[in-house]
């Protein structure tokens, strides 16, 4: 401990001989990147695509992927903010109802003669308000998010159904309905993928490369410790719920245009698909763990599997069974792998020599 | 095998493809009514040597139907026979299917005419509405309060019938008052609980019309065990198998339905005629549908099956579907 | 008025006069209980609706439906509450209910002479086995229950649809006596309500007074501490899921008896109602606290609101919105009452310090 | 009270050549421990020496990789804590582990509640028994209140009550006194001695040598997961033990440097939160170390939490160099130069499942980011600076903090807050669970930081620490400030008097 004299405040240059030096990582780069839950999902996705291309007739065509993207875009979109919400240890079950409400908002306003662009804006504002209501009840009143969003799931759906009643609004400007379905010529890639990619980049940076994101992970692992470190726990959650609301509203607008139909029951039950995909993508429901690339792969995996099986004339019930089993298997397998690794280490453990940080 | 993203085949079919792979897409699977109708379709397709299959979503939502339609387009089937969950939402995907040369027939529940080649109408809406109103009127003595238990709030056919019933009631049955229309979402439990609520909120209710097979069965089940049994009349559209017990115990006097198997049978033959190029769906086209004889395409590409059958104690045992 | 907070510890305990004090203490505990607020809300709903339309309560069918309608959900919510108390959740209950209901019908179709009691047992055991699958996956794989049961929700439902196809069980397939159970009454109390009440009392007693029950609370309160205590965590978690599954299975049998029609979609969405009922009834979603009584009251409130709305003149289309508002209102009310109580506790502590 | 280490009587508990590794981290290489009945056995060693790991092996929580484990001469192999419990071993773990939602009584008796004939839990008997235990420990805790919200000290006492009530033949206590103050410690020792005299074997782990020497009969020293020595306590001195622990000489003296005391940095005026603390006013100047003393439960932690903005307060003001510190906003407080090292490092100080690097840079993550983005290389570099200065023992910077030993975890918390370069450092129990070498170092560090002009507010339940380090001592009792004593006047007596004055049960 001869170095104790060098203990100075960090304002002093960092170059002075420290007492110890540290390895940055305990395992190799290869292990850190490839032996992860996210990579497992991505690998599985690749395998499913390859197998399906070879064995399922009509699968390996661009049209498969353009349909796939058109169909899964709402889930892809909502999965982004949902991932962040779940990493903080909360959950939002009201997303599909918010899609319905946003859809109905666009429908009623255009029906009443408003310009559709204004209707879009109003729908997004409705999304912000709905998200803020969730956020308010959860962070300010202090209620559990599962309970609150079960309530708003009913409320937002109820408002949507109440507003439109039996009617469905189907008259939308062709310009907009075409955009929702447009593809980049020849490639078959739908245009809606552009806003998704932009949002995906924004959310990935927000989650993985900002101090806000660091706070999100800390909240999920220990919100008390996060609060003691100056993380705005409540504010962060509030923002995330608002983001979820507005992205859900955006997905609702897309849904309306894609199907050219605004109805109160649009997208019913989509929340479970979103959550299933997020969990499949390796996000821990207890919070604190997860990454966006895994989530996107998770959504696509469910989507690709579904379209391959449909093409292979597998009925929708069997597809549901497979989706459910996949979800269970994926989480069980991670804990099984962890268990197996532990066993292996335990057996080999005694022979290893002490590897710890070298004293300076 | 890759196909180009926009199939070259033109929409204006001159037919003759001979591709008799016809797929039925019901509103949802696990629905007895569609089970019966699709069986009729299967019978017809076997008769003319085509390839029958059935796909569909587990719950009745339009977006799920779209995925299936897209898949069928990719699989290059010859024809699609579909009961639409939304008049508009599945339209684009149907048109893409038609652009790929697939012949689209809607049955039971239609889309906008621009999205399909032909609609097989089970019965004329006017006929259905009138038969329902007449039955309830005779059962309650043409006076008193009634209510309607419908399927989902967006069901196109239901809403059309209900509007016609309202008009009919206003015109010919001034003493009958329609208290309320409630929606059981074609779900047993919801319909059941809505029936209970109806009876509670309208103590003077004399009759219920439920123009949906799920709804009428659930309502009958509730009535049969409540103190209103025999006091509140119930009629509507139901299948004989589901209603047999309630006709027998007197909960229900009569109800109506067309034969769903015939509906599917006719739809299959109509699709064959389109595939063959015998018809194109314009008004006045004629085709023969096996044992059902010959039919003429009417206004807006609609083919009418015929009048519904009214079931009562006397005739119910002759039917099994 | 009570002896709570920082007790004057070694003070002789048994010196307390029995009569009045015990009564006030029980009363005090009741007033402070988390379930009280929600019970109050339920009574208000019933009262207001009855004033608007007396037949809501004072008519044969009204009284019967008040008790009958929530009975099935009460059963499922009891099981759900037990699972949530152990810091898990069982989203597969709706699918288990559906499968069990369909099985019930199939049993009667295949073996028309089957005694009704045997069908009940079959339903219980069948549900228990499905719950066992959940429990084993959750407890051994140490995977969050929400994920596992979301998976089995899909899987069980899928099995149901594959099995049932487009088939359905109609009332005419079921024996008369069995159907009579679904709506019949004993001393003007429906059988279903009696079954639910018996299960409720048994479960409530178990959770409060038996070691196994208390250990469920402990596990939910802090699983790692439960491990350090040497509690049989795995076994208890499996038990909770088997219990929830068995009750969902029983509920499936009762569903068949009550509704008479069962298709492959029976029980869809029940999971959210059950979780909602438990949460509304004060069962903390993070485990460790709440009672099955609360969950049962929550279930009754949820369904009674549903039935009251049309009577109160809320148009059909707006009812779901009102239900949403009421759910939120109920949990906010619960929260406000809890806050008030903790504030009161602090005040009492201050007073005792002086 | 003769100690017979090599008698033919089998030891109550014996471990020979035990090893244990967690992945690449080797916690124990060859640990020995032999505990006799009728004795209290001290187990000492630096942070991370492997004491707690050894305890957990005995408790059946971990399985040893190699070595022998004998109980009364017979080889045993526990695969769960239930088995060790059944074999007569009770353990108080280093970190209290209670069920927050359950009542204090239920916490004590969970899993073995008294029942009547029908298996129904006999609540009354249970409560009477709990009150009896508390009486024996001379504490006042409401047996019906939930464990949620209890202070660490009270939690520790419940752990002790729980262990005693097990009536075990072997009682192992892993730093039970770390959170306790004088009175409770004395009481605990009286109970421990009476248990010994009843013929039981006790193992006592502590970093406080005065306690070890006053209580124990035998002492075993461990270093780096290895057995070093076992001696009767009367035959060794503190200096010798310390030398064996760290492998060289250490002075336990607190090297207080004189620092120029400057302007007022923090001033707190009339801070009040009903039921917790009342009318608290004090100042801290730059270069000054202010000690905040008092019995456990006096409300010291609550005051500093309110100052930092984690807890609310009803009335009063907090002023930092003339600027008002807004209520309920730790991040604003941090911006104004406050730092708080909280008392409960596992819940409040650290995100246990996160890496050393993430934790160490948690409080400076905003200043580390460029254009709003954080680079993990920058993060690692920043984390390494303070970790290395405090000699944090870790395998790599991405190791989960939860896998570090208690003392090393505390160092990470210190690193995290020193990295913010605060003007006022509030530090709640700075050396709880820290070994002697590091402790002296922390004190030197505090002194040095003060010398550089930092203002320091230190809460400590250890009187020698307060007296040795502080320039000025504030004393709290039952939520009120009762005395302010300058360094020259501060003695053990004067501080204790202010802390306990007018308390009936004061020792
Ligand atoms: N679960 C674990 N996973 C990985 N490493 C661990 C784990 N538990 C302990 N260790 C490591 O084992 C070593 C010994 O830790 P242990 O907690 O036994 O030390 P200790 O002597 O009790 O220290 P202290 O006095 O600080 O409490 C440390 O290096 C620690 O990091
Ligand atoms: N068992 C209890 N019952 C009720 N209130 C309690 C109990 N224990 C603590 N409190 C409240 O919490 C306050 C502070 O407790 P705490 O032990 O955290 O104080 P502290 O002086 O910061 O102790 P420490 O030495 O651990 O830092 C007390 O003043 C008291 O009001
Ligand atoms: Mg330790
Ligand atoms: Mg404290």
Angle between helices A145-164 and A95-111 in degrees, nearest 10: 20
Chain A: nearest CA to C149, how far in angstroms? 8
Query: What confidence tier does C32 reach under pLDDT thresholds 50, 70, 90?
Result: low
The residue range of the domain holding C221 is 71-339
- The predicted structure's pLDDT at residue C139: 85
DSSP string across C53-109:
-GGGTSSHHHHHHHHHHHHHHHHHHHHHHHHHHTT---TTHHHHHHHHHHHHHHHHH
Give the DSSP letter string of C272-317.
Answer: HHHHHHHHHTT--TTSS---HHHHHHHHHHHHHHHHHHHHTT--GG
Question: Helices marked H in C312-354 — which ranges?
Answer: 319-353
In a domain, C47, yes or no: no
pLDDT at residue B11 greater than cutoff 70: no
Q: Which ligand 2 atom sits nearest the alpha carbon of residue C349?
A: 4
Cβ atoms within 10 Å of A167's Cβ, excluding its own: 16
Task: Give the residue on C whose Cα is nearest the Cα of D106.
Answer: C214
Contact B217, B243 (CB under 8 A): yes
Instruction: Read off the pLDDT of residues C318-349 as tens digits, 9 standing for 90 and up.
Output: 877 877 887 788 778 777 776 776 676 566 55
How far, in Å, from the CA of A322 to the mean position of ligand 4? 53
Measured at the CA of D50, the angle between CA D44 and CA D54, to 5 degrees, comes to 95
| Each residue's pLDDT tens digit, C213-232 | 899 999 988 888 888 888 88
- Asked if A266 and A100 touch (Cβ cutoff 8 Å), the reply is yes
Per DSSP, D35 falls in state E
Q: Whose CA is nearest to atom 25 of ligand 1?
A: D47
Residue ranges, chain D, pLDDT below 50: 1-5, 502-507
In the structure, what pLDDT confidence band is assigned to residue B209 with cuts at 50, 70 and 90? very high
Alpha carbon of D168 to ligand 3 centroid (Å): 22
pLDDT at residue B188 greater than cutoff 60? yes
Q: What is the pLDDT of residues B291-310, one digit of tens each?
A: 888 888 888 888 888 878 88
The atom of ligand 2 lying closest to the CA of D298 is: 21
Q: Rounded to the nearest 5°, which phi and psi values hold at C97?
A: -60, -45
CA A195 centroid distance within chain: 15
* Residue whose CA lies nearest to ligand 2 atom number 17: D297
How distant is the alpha carbon of residue A231 from its chain centre?
22
The domains located in chain D, with CATH, are 13-98+150-247 (3.40.50.300), 263-499 (3.40.50.300)
Chain D: closest CA distance from residue C272 (Å): 25
Express each pLDDT in A209-255 by its tens digit.
998 999 999 999 998 999 999 899 999 999 999 999 999 999 999 99
Rounded to a whole number, what is the distance in Å from the CA of D100 to chain A's nearest CA? 15
* Tens digit of each residue's pLDDT (9 = 90 or more) over C159-188: 888 887 767 787 778 888 888 887 777 777
Higher per-residue pLDDT: D224 or B266:
B266
Q: Give yes or no for residue A124 having a pLDDT over 90.
A: yes
Closest CA to A128 of A280, A13, A239: A239
C327 occurs within a structural domain = yes
Whole-complex ipTM: 0.75
Check residue C317 and give its pLDDT.
Answer: 76
Inside any domain, residue C101? yes
Strand segments (E) across chain B: 21-25, 51-54, 79-82, 103-107, 118-121, 144-150, 176-183, 205-210, 233-236, 254-257, 286-288, 294-296, 302-304, 309-312
Question: Does C98 or C11 have the greater pLDDT score?
Answer: C98
Q: Is residue C83 part of a domain?
A: yes
B190 Cα to the center of ligand 1, angstroms? 58
Mean pLDDT for A322-340 is 75
Q: Which residues of A touch B86 (CB under 8 A)?
A: 168, 259, 261, 263
Find the CATH number of the domain harbouring C125.
Answer: 1.10.3470
Query: How much is the pLDDT for D319?
Result: 93
Q: What is the pLDDT of residue D198?
A: 87
Q: Which uninterrupted H or E stretch holds C130? A: helix C116-141
Evaluate whether residue C9 is within a structural domain. no
| pLDDT recorded at residue B13 | 41
Residue B291 burial (CB count, 10 A): 11
Least confident of A84-88, A139-143, B72-76, D257-261: D257-261
What distance in Å separates residue C138's CA from the closest CA in chain A? Answer: 9
Distance from C-alpha of D388 to C-alpha of D22, rounded to nearest angstrom? 23
Nearest CA to ligand 1 atom 11: D27
**pLDDT at residue C7 greater than cutoff 50:** no
Could you tell me if A326 and C152 are in contact, meaning their C-beta atoms sit under 8 angstroms apart?
Answer: no
Asked if residue C329 is part of any domain, the answer here is yes
Contact C144 A315 (CB under 8 A): no
Q: Where are the domains of chain A?
A: 58-274
- Is the pLDDT assigned to residue C8 strictly greater than 60? no
Picking from D63, D83, D101, D158 by the largest number of C CB atoms within 10 A of its own CB, the best residue to mutate is D101
Most confident of A47-56, A97-106, D47-56, D77-86: A97-106
Residues 297-356 of D with CB under 8 A from A: 310, 330-331, 333-334, 340, 342, 347-354
Domain tally, chain C: 1
**Is C253 a member of any domain?**
yes
Compare CB distances from A170 to B53, B58, B88 and report the shortest one's residue.
B88
Centre of ligand 4 from the C-alpha of residue D299, in Å: 6
What is the structure's pLDDT at A247? 97
Is the model's pLDDT at C6 over the cut of 60?
A: no
Chains that touch C (3 or more CB pairs under 8 A): A, B, D
User: Residue range B232-259: average pLDDT?
Assistant: 88
d(CA C135, CA C244): 10
Ligand closest to D144 (CA) is 2
pTM of the model: 0.79
Q: Give the chain A residue whose CA is nearest to the CA of C279.
A: A147
Chain B touching partners, 3 or more CB pairs below 8 A? A, C
The pLDDT assigned to C155 comes to: 85
Which of D24, D13, D11 is closest to D394 using CA atoms?
D24
C-beta of residue C308 within 8 angstroms of C-beta of residue C56: yes
Please state, rounded to an integer, the average pLDDT across all residues of chain C.
Answer: 81
């Amino acid at each position: 401990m001869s170095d104790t004299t060098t203990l100075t405040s960090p304002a002093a240059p960092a170059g002075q001989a420290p007492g110890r030096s540290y390895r940055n990582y305990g395992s190799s780069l290869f292990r850190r990147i490839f032996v992860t839950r996210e990579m497992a999902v991505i690998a599985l996705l690749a395998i499913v695509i390859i197998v399906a291309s070879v064995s399922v007739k009509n699968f390996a065509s661009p049209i498969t992927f353009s349909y796939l993207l058109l169909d899964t875009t709402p889930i892809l979109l909502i999965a982004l903010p949902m991932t962040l919400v779940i990493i903080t240890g909360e959950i939002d079950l009201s997303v599909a109802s918010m899609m319905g409400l946003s859809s109905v908002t666009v429908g009623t306003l255009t029906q009443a003669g408003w310009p559709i662009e204004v209707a879009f804006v109003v729908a997004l504002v409705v999304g912000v308000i709905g998200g803020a209501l969730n956020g308010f009840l959860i962070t300010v009143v202090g209620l559990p998010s599962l309970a609150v969003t079960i309530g708003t799931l009913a409320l937002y759906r109820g408002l949507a159904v109440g507003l439109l009643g039996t009617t469905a609004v189907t008259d939308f400007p062709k310009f907009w309905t075409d955009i929702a379905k447009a593809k980049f010529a020849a490639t078959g890639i739908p245009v809606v993928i552009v806003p998704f990619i932009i949002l995906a980049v924004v959310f990935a940076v927000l989650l993985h490369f900002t101090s806000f994101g660091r706070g999100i992970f800390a909240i999920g692992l220990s919100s008390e410790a996060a609060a003691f470190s100056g993380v705005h726990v409540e504010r962060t959650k509030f923002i995330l719920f608002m983001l979820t609301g507005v992205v859900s509203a955006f997905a609702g607008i897309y849904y309306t245009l894609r199907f050219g139909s605004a109805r109160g029951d649009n997208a019913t039950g989509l929340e479970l698909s979103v959550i299933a995909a997020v969990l499949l993508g390796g996000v821990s429901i207890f919070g604190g763990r997860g990454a966006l690339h895994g989530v996107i792969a998770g959504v696509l995996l469910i989507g690709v599997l579904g379209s391959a099986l449909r093409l292979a004339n597998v009925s929708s019930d069997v597809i549901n069974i497979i989706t459910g089993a996949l979800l269970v298997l994926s989480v069980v397998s991670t804990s099984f792998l962890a268990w197996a690794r532990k066993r292996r280490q335990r057996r080999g453990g005694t022979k290893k020599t002490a590897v710890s940080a070298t004293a300076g | 095998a890759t196909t180009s993203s926009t199939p070259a085949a033109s929409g204006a079919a001159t037919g003759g493809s001979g591709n008799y792979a016809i797929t039925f897409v019901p509103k949802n699977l696990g629905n007895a009514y569609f089970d019966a109708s699709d069986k009729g379709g299967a019978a017809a397709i076997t008769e003319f040597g085509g390839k029958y299959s059935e796909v569909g979503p587990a719950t009745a939502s339009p977006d799920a139907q779209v995925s299936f339609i897209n898949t069928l387009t990719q699989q290059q089937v010859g024809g699609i026979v579909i009961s639409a969950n939304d008049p508009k939402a599945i339209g684009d995907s149907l048109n893409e299917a038609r652009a790929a040369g697939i012949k689209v027939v809607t049955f039971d529940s239609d889309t906008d005419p621009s999205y399909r080649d032909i609609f097989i109408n089970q019965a004329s809406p006017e006929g259905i509405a009138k038969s329902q109103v007449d039955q309830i009127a005779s059962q309650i003595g043409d006076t008193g309060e009634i209510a309607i238990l419908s399927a989902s709030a967006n069901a196109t056919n239901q809403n059309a019938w209900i509007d016609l019933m309202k008009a009919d009631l206003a015109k010919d049955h001034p003493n009958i008052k329609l208290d309320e229309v409630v929606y059981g979402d074609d779900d047993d439990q919801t319909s059941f609980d809505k029936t209970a609520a109806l009876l509670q909120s309208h103590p003077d209710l004399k009759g219920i019309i439920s123009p949906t097979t799920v709804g009428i069965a659930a309502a009958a089940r509730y009535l049969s065990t409540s103190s209103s049994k025999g006091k509140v009349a119930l009629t509507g559209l139901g299948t004989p198998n589901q209603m047999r017990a309630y006709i027998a115990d007197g909960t229900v006097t009569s109800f109506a339905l067309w034969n769903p198997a015939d509906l599917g049978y006719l739809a299959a033959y109509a699709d064959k005629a389109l595939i063959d190029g015998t018809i194109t769906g314009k008004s006045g086209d004629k085709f023969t549908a096996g044992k059902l004889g010959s039919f003429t395409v009417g206004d807006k590409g609609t083919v009418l099956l015929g009048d519904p059958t009214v079931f009562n104690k006397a005739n119910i045992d002759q039917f099994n579907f | 008025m009570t002896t709570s907070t920082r007790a004057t510890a070694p003070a002789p305990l048994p010196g307390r006069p029995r009569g009045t004090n015990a009564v006030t203490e029980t009363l005090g505990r009741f007033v402070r209980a988390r379930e009280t607020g929600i019970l109050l809300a339920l009574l208000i709903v019933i009262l207001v609706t009855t004033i608007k339309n007396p037949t809501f309560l004072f008519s044969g069918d009204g009284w019967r439906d008040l008790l009958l309608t929530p009975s099935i959900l009460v059963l499922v919510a009891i099981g759900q509450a037990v699972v949530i108390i152990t810091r898990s959740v069982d989203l597969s209950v709706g699918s288990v209910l559906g499968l069990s209901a369909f099985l019930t019908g199939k049993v009667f179709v295949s073996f028309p002479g089957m005694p009704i009691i045997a069908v009940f047992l079959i339903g219980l055991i069948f549900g228990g086995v499905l719950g066992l699958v959940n429990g084993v996956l959750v407890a051994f794989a140490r995977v969050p229950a929400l994920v596992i049961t979301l998976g089995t929700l899909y899987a069980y439902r899928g099995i149901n649809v594959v099995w049932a196809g487009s088939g359905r069980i109609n009332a005419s397939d079921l024996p008369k006596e069995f159907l009579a159970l679904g709506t019949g009454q004993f001393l003007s109390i429906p059988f279903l309500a009696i079954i639910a009440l018996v299960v409720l009392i048994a479960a409530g007693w178990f959770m409060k007074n038996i070691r196994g029950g208390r250990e469920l609370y402990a596990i939910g309160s802090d699983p790692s501490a439960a491990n350090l205590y040497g509690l049989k965590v795995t076994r208890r978690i499996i038990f909770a899921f088997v219990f929830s599954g068995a009750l969902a299975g029983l509920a499936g049998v009762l569903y068949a008896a009550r509704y008479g029609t069962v298709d492959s979609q029976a029980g869809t969405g029940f999971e959210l109602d059950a979780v909602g009922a438990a949460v509304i009834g004060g069962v903390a979603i993070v485990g460790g606290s709440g009672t099955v009584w609360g969950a049962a009251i929550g279930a009754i409130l949820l369904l009674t609101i549903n039935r009251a709305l049309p009577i109160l003149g809320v148009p059909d289309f707006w009812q779901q919105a009102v239900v949403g508002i009421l759910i939120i209102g109920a949990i906010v009310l619960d929260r406000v009452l809890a806050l008030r109580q903790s504030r009161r506790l602090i005040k009492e502590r201050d007073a005792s310090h002086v | 009270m003769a100690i017979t280490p090599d008698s033919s009587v089998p030891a109550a508990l014996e471990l020979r050549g035990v090893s244990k590794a967690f992945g690449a981290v080797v916690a124990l290489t060859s640990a020995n421990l032999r505990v006799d009945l009728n004795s209290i056995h001290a187990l000492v060693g630096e942070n991370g020496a492997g004491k707690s790991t050894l305890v957990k092996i005995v408790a059946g929580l971990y399985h040893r990789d190699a070595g022998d484990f004998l109980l009364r001469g017979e080889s045993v192999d526990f695969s769960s804590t239930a088995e060790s419990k059944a074999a007569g071993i009770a353990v108080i773990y280093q970190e209290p582990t209670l069920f927050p939602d359950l009542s204090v009584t239920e916490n004590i008796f969970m899993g073995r509640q008294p029942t009547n004939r029908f298996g129904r839990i006999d609540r009354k008997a249970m409560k009477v028994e709990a009150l009896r235990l508390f009486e024996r420990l001379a504490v006042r805790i409401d047996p019906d209140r939930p464990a949620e919200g209890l202070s660490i000290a009270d939690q520790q006492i419940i752990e002790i009550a729980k262990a005693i009530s097990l009536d075990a033949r072997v009682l192992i206590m892993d730093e039970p006194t770390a959170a306790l103050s004088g009175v409770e410690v004395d009481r605990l020792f009286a109970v421990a001695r009476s248990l010994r005299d009843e013929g039981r074997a006790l193992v006592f782990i502590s970093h406080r040598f005065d306690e070890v020497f006053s209580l124990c009969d035998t002492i075993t020293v461990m270093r780096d997961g290895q057995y070093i020595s076992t001696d009767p306590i009367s035959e060794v001195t503190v200096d010798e033990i310390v030398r064996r622990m760290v492998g060289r000489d250490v002075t336990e003296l607190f090297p207080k440097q004189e620092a120029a005391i400057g302007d007022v940095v923090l001033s707190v005026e009339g801070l009040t939160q009903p039921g917790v603390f009342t009318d608290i006013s004090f100042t801290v100047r730059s270069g000054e170390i202010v000690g905040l003393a008092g019995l456990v439960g006096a409300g010291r932690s609550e005051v500093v939490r309110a100052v930092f903005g984690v807890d609310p307060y009803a009335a009063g003001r907090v002023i930092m160099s003339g600027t008002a510190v807004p209520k309920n906003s730790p991040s604003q407080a941090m911006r104004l130069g406050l730092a708080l090292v909280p008392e409960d490092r596992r819940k409040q100080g650290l995100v246990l499942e996160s890496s050393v690097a993430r934790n160490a840079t948690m409080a400076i993550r905003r200043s580390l980011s460029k254009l709003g983005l954080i680079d993990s290389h920058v993060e690692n570099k920043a984390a390494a600076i303070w970790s290395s200065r405090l000699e944090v023992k870790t395998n790599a910077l991405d190791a989960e903090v939860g896998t570090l030993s208690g003392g090393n975890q505390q160092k990470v918390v210190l690193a995290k807050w020193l990295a913010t370069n605060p003007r006022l450092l509030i530090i709640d129990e700075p050396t709880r669970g820290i070994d002697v070498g590091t402790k002296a170092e922390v004190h030197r560090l505090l002194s040095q930081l003060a010398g550089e002009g930092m203002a320091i507010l230190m809460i400590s339940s250890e009187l020698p620490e307060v007296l040795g380090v502080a320039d000025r001592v504030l004393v709290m009792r039952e939520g009120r400030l009762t005395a302010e004593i300058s360094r020259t006047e501060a003695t053990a007596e004067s501080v204790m008097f202010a802390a306990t004055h007018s308390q009936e049960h004061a020792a």
